[in-house]
Chains A and B, each alone.
Chain A
Amino acid sequence: MTNEEALQHQTQVAHGAAVAAHVAHHKQSFITKYIFSQDHKIISRQFLITGIIWAVIGGFFSVLFRMQLGFPDQTFPWLEDIFGKWAEGGRISQDLYYTLVTMHGTILVFFVLTAGLSGTFSNFLIPLQVGARDMASPFVNMLSYWFFFAASVVMFSSLFVSTGGSSVGWTFYPPLSALGDAAEGAKTGMDLWLISIFLFIVSQLLGGLNYVVTIINMRTKGMFMTRLPLTIWSFMFTAILGILTFPVLLSAVVLLMFDRHLGTSFFLSDIVIQGKILPNEGGSPILFQHLFWFLGHPEVYIVALPAMGITSEVVSTNSRKPIFGYMAMVGSFFAISTLSMIVWAHHMFVSGMNPFLGSVFTLFTLLIAVPSAIKVFNWLTTLWRGNIIFTPAMLFSIGFVSLFISGGLTGIWLGNAAIDMHIHDTYFNIAHFHLVMGVASMFGMFAGVYHWFPKMFGRFMNKTLGYIHFWITIVCAYLIFWPMHYEGIAGMPRRYYDYSNWESFKMFEGLNTFIGYVVIIVFATQFLFIFNFFYSIYKGRKMTESNKNPWKATTLEWTTPPLPGHGNWEGEIPEVHRWAYDYSKGDRDFIPQTEPIGEDEGEH
């Protein structure tokens, strides 16, 4: 059976429909088409829209806790209307504050920047860019979304239990997370939180396996690994990282559940809480931190790599230039992924672990800056002597590079164990990771949405709204996070409900108020995007057959019909003859991957 036949066969089995060439034309009910769909494009939209909803919730939570920090003396009666006893007198309670902080982290890291980002674009782009009719297993792919959905439902419901949602930080270090006596948010809310993360991990593993198998096995004819667009490389490394590390988090979740409910002592020892002497002995909280960060660190690359892939693609297309150093880009993806799995304990320099371990992790941590630097220089060189078209996607990609530089450089401070002793767990750290993986990856996601929206929905988003969205967002991102470095070098700790009692940090009161205003503005601005997104799905300018490659890109997805059905291509899947970056080669503006290499033309 040839590759093409295998794919056809696969699609048919999945749908039980006897279709040959026109896979797209079989009738489906609303439920099988839009709800329990096995079409990777629909699943990707499901991930995206769920991700957007979570982003609004997670973002709103940050507005609330920044209001507490920015205006600690004011009361907001409407908060009591929403939160009742959790915001008595219009002031966020300490318990609620820590729940908001925890949920903001959890939602943004896991639900938005993992599921929303790689769930959306891995699903959407892998089959379209490697030339496959769907994922290797569309059914497992569907399960991946519905496990995520179940995780979402459980997480959302955890906010409504009487003791409140989890309030122990997204890193959920025991004993705090293991003992209901330690915090209100470590009671039922914590159990639900753990169950939700359990389901989420299942979803990620199902999805990740599918992505890797599809990329390795289902590339169309001529699509050698070295001809893959960088997006696909980034999704593959992301998926591999997830497959290797999420199970370790799963073990931490399960062991923690045992400690909570079965009386085991994996992470507990020598504890006296609220006057009660616990019987647990011999456990180690440090063990948990190792298990957690074994995922926790690769996780930031799971978040960052897809954004890098999308940026590479968008920067190259809109500079009308091939990406500079394709093999170096792939190599640095590989180096980043490998190193990312042996740097986890840099989160634990001051945890009390053996200092010798600290030295090993300093070494690898700083080394990871090398492949990151290669990437930045390659993006810069791609821009150099290009012919740049500023689409909204391009703006967000340039923004990504800028934020990645700003946030990445401070990693060199934090990664050095001796310096980390001062700035660990301060606002310096907040500024660092929000710039480099938080806002930057968000920018990668925006770039992806603006760039592939026409392919997703067959319509265009409004450009002007996109420009306004970009400029306000990047300005606000810097206004919020840049000054935080100064709070950090003063040693101002993160996760504080109120700083008014601290002599050392009094000078930052005004700054926190300022940040409070900026946060509100930037949050409101995101509604321009959300409105633009949903409005354009129904009312955007249509993409026509004659304009079906609007960015004049070389990759395969633009060879499909404007709004491809399930199966992606009508008729044969096109064959690939060249790499994805033949822009401005010879006297041609761009040469699609499907065009054979000319007689007197060399490969790149």
Chain B
Amino acid sequence: METFFLIAIVLLIFLVIFQISKASEYVSVLKGEEKAMRQSNKINGFLMIAFLILGLIGVWYCNKLFYPGNLFSWGAASEEGLIIDKMMWTVIYITGFVFFATQILLFVFAYKYQYSDKRKALYYPHNNTLEFIWTSVPAITLTILIIIGLKHWFKFTGDAPKGSQIVEITGHQFAWEMRYPGKDGVLGRKNFKLTDAAKGNPLGIDWKDKASRDDVHVPTTMYVVVNKPVKLVINSQDVVHDVGLPAFRLKMDAVPGMPTTLFFTPIYTTEQMKEKTGNPDFEYEIVCDQLCGKGHFSMKGIVKVVTQVEYNAWFRNQKSAFARAQEAALSAMNEGEAPAKVDTQKDLALEN
């Protein structure tokens, strides 16, 4: 019933608008087109300036509503992010100035030069000086922005600082997997053809590579140390995903068949950020930024930024992925699955 009334009301509004519009057309024919044009011109001219003023108030009000509490307003939580924030502020000031200047000119001109019998439009087809100015000024400004941008771009996409912690992050529909090198500091080889979740090897790690034996695999949550650069090695198992780190201001795609990298240096621990934002539930969230299927929106990871001491304590408690795989194989054997048994025994024999 409610829906019915709603539809009826909407139709009624339409009908009223239509009747008014039709009537106004008849009136304008009766009054003479010239006179009608002058009247509607006045109204629209007034609306132009009203739109400008209300729009500027709206811009201010929108900022009041959505800037405080915005992730951007807390400042970036990584060294690289701080540079990006700075660049963004530079661009905000430049484009903001141009925005207000041109929008104000546009609507003020529209209002000021609305039709009048007394005025004759100026025949003014071109002016080389003016055109030169507004070609060269934007060109110079943009060149400066390009230089600043590229300087940082090369830094962000260059080699990670020496002594960076390495973490491998692998995306699949619809979750993230982290892998840490063990004591040797080297991630073991992988081969996607070895992927077998049933045998405890969901990442396709090649156990034949000795470096892989002490690697640690943790789903969803990434532990990193504050003020220590982290180099991410980014993988995907199925479709294109994207490791998005909004609080650190960085992101990079995860492409199947082509590992990518990204580094950042967190400057606040998760606990510090909770205090800073006044939000006890704050987490550094990893968002997936590349459409990857129907669960795209739920593909969430967490970065826990902790102190070195906390990190060491945590890492000590982790079992290596190889140990887990062996456990998985053993439990499979105990369940007495004959073919699986033969396979795993052979595999283990080979590896050992």
Binding site for B on A (CB under 8 A): 78, 94-95, 97-98, 167-169, 173-176, 179, 182-184, 268-275, 277, 281-286, 319-328, 350-352, 355, 358-359, 362-363, 366-367, 369-370, 373-374, 376-378, 380-381, 383-390, 395, 398, 401-402, 405-406, 409-410, 412-413, 416-419, 421-422, 424-426, 462-465, 467-468, 471, 474-475, 478-479, 482-483, 486-487, 489-493, 495-499, 501-504, 507-508, 511, 524, 527-528, 531-532, 541, 581, 583-586, 604
Residue B185 CB within 8 A of the other chain: no
Closest to B134 in A: A377
Residue B149 CB within 8 A of the other chain: yes
**11 residue pairs bridging A and B, Cβ less than 8 Å apart:** A98-B296, A179-B238, A321-B123, A383-B109, A385-B113, A388-B45, A487-B66, A493-B289, A503-B283, A503-B285, A604-B125
Chain B neighbourhood of A416, CB < 8 A? 87, 91, 145-146, 149
Chain B neighbourhood of A184, CB < 8 A? 294
1/0 contact trace for B76-109 toward A, CB 8 Å? Answer: 0000010110011001001100110011011101
The 10 closest A-B pairs by CB, nearest first: A491-B246, A269-B257, A355-B157, A486-B66, A496-B297, A390-B44, A352-B260, A464-B21, A270-B257, A416-B149
| Given known A-B contacts A176-B291, A388-B113, A402-B106, A499 and B297 have beta carbons under 8 A apart | yes
Chain B neighbourhood of A268, CB < 8 A? 256-257
Closest to A524 in B: B10
Q: How many residues of B contact A (CB 8 A)?
A: 124
Report Cα–Cα, A586/B45, bound state, in Å: 27
Report Cα–Cα, A511/B70, bound state, in Å: 13
Closest to A168 in B: B291
Chain A neighbourhood of B156, CB < 8 A? 418, 421
Q: Say whether B246 contacts A98, CB under 8 Å.
A: no
Min CB gap A341→B, angstroms: 19
| Given known A-B contacts A374-B134, A410-B95, A398 and B106 have beta carbons under 8 A apart | yes
Q: Say whether B72 contacts A359, CB under 8 Å.
A: no
Residues of B228-261 at the interface with A, using a CB-CB cut-off of 8 Å, are: 234, 237-240, 242, 244, 246-247, 249-253, 255-258, 260
Out of A176, A377, A489, A586, which one reaches B293, CB within 8 Å? A176
Of A327, A416, A463, A479, the most chain B CB neighbours within 10 A belong to: A416
Q: Say whether A366 contacts B146, CB under 8 Å.
A: yes
Q: Say whether A413 contacts B95, CB under 8 Å.
A: yes
Q: Say whether A528 contacts B14, CB under 8 Å.
A: yes
Closest to B295 in A: A94
Q: Say whether B294 contacts A486, CB under 8 Å.
A: no
Report Cα–Cα, A489/B249, bound state, in Å: 9
Out of A274, A319, A464, A475, which one reaches B121, CB within 8 Å? A319
Q: Say whether A275 contacts B256, CB under 8 Å.
A: no
Chain A neighbourhood of B126, CB < 8 A? 324-328, 604
Residue B161 CB within 8 A of the other chain: no
1/0 contact trace for B24-50 toward A, CB 8 Å? Answer: 110011000000010011011101100
| Given known A-B contacts A390-B44, A503-B279, A490 and B14 have beta carbons under 8 A apart | no
Binding site for A on B (CB under 8 A): 3, 10, 14, 17-18, 20-22, 24-25, 28-29, 37, 40-41, 43-45, 47-48, 51, 55, 58-59, 62-63, 65-67, 69-72, 81, 83-84, 87-88, 91, 94-95, 98-99, 102-103, 105-107, 109-110, 113-116, 119-127, 130-131, 134-135, 138-139, 142, 145-146, 149-150, 152-154, 156-158, 172-173, 192-193, 195, 197, 204, 234, 237-240, 242, 244, 246-247, 249-253, 255-258, 260, 279, 281-283, 285, 287-298, 300
Chain B neighbourhood of A418, CB < 8 A? 83-84, 87, 149-150, 152-153, 156
| Given known A-B contacts A284-B258, A376-B102, A422 and B251 have beta carbons under 8 A apart | yes
Report Cα–Cα, A418/B168, bound state, in Å: 23
Closest to A581 in B: B125
Q: Say whether B106 contacts A401, CB under 8 Å.
A: yes
With A321-B123, A417-B149, A422-B249 given, can you name 10 additional A-B contacts, CB distance below 8 Å? A271-B238, A274-B173, A352-B255, A363-B150, A370-B135, A413-B88, A425-B289, A491-B247, A501-B298, A583-B123
Report Cα–Cα, A269/B239, bound state, in Å: 10
Report Cα–Cα, A95/B291, bound state, in Å: 12
Out of A182, A321, A350, A604, which one reaches B239, CB within 8 Å? A182
Chain A neighbourhood of B237, CB < 8 A? 270-273
Of B45, B158, B285, the most chain A CB neighbours within 10 A belong to: B285
| Given known A-B contacts A370-B135, A422-B249, A502-B285, A176 and B124 have beta carbons under 8 A apart | no
Report Cα–Cα, A419/B120, bound state, in Å: 47
Chain B neighbourhood of A380, CB < 8 A? 102, 105-106, 109
